[in-house]
Every structure is written in C-alpha cells, then in structure tokens.
Amino acid sequence: MKKISKGFTLAEILICVAIVGIIAALVAPGLVNQMSKVSAGATLARAVEQIEAGCRQIIEVANSNYEGDEGTADTLGAIRVGDIPHADIENVSDDDPMALYFDRVGYPYMDMEPLDYTAAERFALRDSLKPYDNTSNASIVIDKARLTLVTSRAYKFKKIPANVWIFSSSSTNDNNLDDDEYLAAWVYIDVNGFQKDPNTFGRDIFVFRLNNKGILIPEGKTTYKDTCADDNITDGKSCTARVVMDGWKITYY
C-alpha cells in the first residue's frame, strides 16, 4: 500500500508564523539598538581619525612652505594663516595665528565641507542639545553658548555620516602649557548628523579637545569611570572617553 505524506495544515502554518512574529517583536528592538551602537562607535572612530589626519597634513603643508631659516611648524599654535593654502577670509591677515581661525581654514584638509546654518538654525540646534539623563541642562550651558559664537563653524564629512562643530579656542599658547594640554579647539562630533535625534551627549554627540599636536583628547578622560558608569551616568559628555577607552564600543546603554 502506497504511503501518503501529510503536509502542514493552514492552522499549523499560521501558528508558526505567529510564534516567529512574537519572537521577532521581542528580539528586534534590542538587535536594532545594538547595531546602532556599533555603527555609532565605528563612525566616531572614523571621524576622529580623519580630523587628526587632517591636522597632520596641515602641519606638513606648513613645513613644506617654509624656506631656509623661516622656521618649522611642529604644532598647530606655531602656524600662521598664511602658512597653508586657504580660501580668502574677510578681516583675517596671513600673519594671524591659524589656531584662532582653525574653524575656517582647517576644514579642507579633513575632507569636510561647511554647513551654512542661518542664525535661526543655530539657535534651534543649540536648543536641541540634551544631557544624557535629560533632567538638567546646567552642565551644557557653555556648550550651547559655543554654537552661537562667530568663532565656531559646523561641517559635514564628505564620506562619513557625521557632522562636526569646531569652536576655535586659543590664538597663542600664552600660558606656556604643555602641548598635550594646550587647547586649540573644542570639537563636537554628532555621529548621525545635527538634524537627527536624539542630539544627546553620550548617545550621538561626543566632545573632544583638540590639542596643539593635532590630537583629539576625549572629554571625561580622568572622570569617565565615575561619571559614565553602567546605570550611573551623571555626565554624558564624559562618555566620550569611555567609548574611546572601550575600543570605540558603546556598552553603557
């Protein structure tokens, strides 16, 4: 007698589909969140490398333009505006320290292009910034103020899905600080762009200090273990250092 094989009934198939749907609904949010964190860490690493590579190029270009005993530019603070090729800037002399105008003359070397925000757009962006715990804005008042100053500019990377805000800080190293401590600029990197939420420090916005050697020092370098600890994040800006120290991985949320 020939054996007849029996397939699944419609009811059984619908039950299986429903089970798979329930499992997917439970797993998907966590998977998407994990993928988002991996992408954010990788984007941040690429952005930092590109900015530092641009700073190295600026120093190399300045040195190549010197002749005879004109000097050398081992640091960003030693470079004048006229030491590197740049677009004309109104009311800026070639003899001015480049560090003072880093936000306007340095970006072409970092494969970035300007984001020409209007004053209203700047204020809207300023107001969109949020601390990690979303309970107090006291810790980011200064950060918000920097976005509206004339010595700051916003840019987008040409090949990276991130935006950066550069706030030129110092013109000369008048305090004779060590090159690692000398602050040439504040750098705010938003890994998914300024126009996209959550616009929160420690989630998509990360803060660095650009030193005289062209190295980005992550905010929270000495405090992140206490202020960006699991389940106890009191300062989202300091999470920048934790991401760097964890090998460009976001593990705290």
Cβ neighbours for 52, distance < 8 A, ≥ 6 positions apart: 214, 215, 216
Terminal CA-to-CA distance of the chain, rounded, Å? 63
Domain boundaries, the chain: 10-245
Task: Count CA within 13 A, CB hemisphere, residue 162.
Answer: 26
- pLDDT for position 184: 80
Separation of CA 222 from chain center: 19
Q: Averaged in consecutive runs of 10 residues, what is the pLDDT profile of the chain (253 residues)?
A: 60 67 55 69 97 94 77 79 86 84 85 91 91 73 85 91 87 61 87 93 94 92 92 91 96 89
Q: How many residues does the chain have?
A: 253
Burial environment of residue 37 by CB neighbours within 10 A (0 to 12, 13 to 18, 19 or more): middle
- pLDDT for position 18: 62
Residue 229 pairs in a beta bridge with 232
- pLDDT for position 4: 56
- pLDDT for position 136: 61
- pLDDT for position 31: 43
- pLDDT for position 181: 75
CB atoms under 10 Å from CB of 186, counted, come to 20
- pLDDT for position 23: 59
Cis peptide before 161 (omega within 30 of 0): no
Residue 113 pairs in a beta bridge with 156
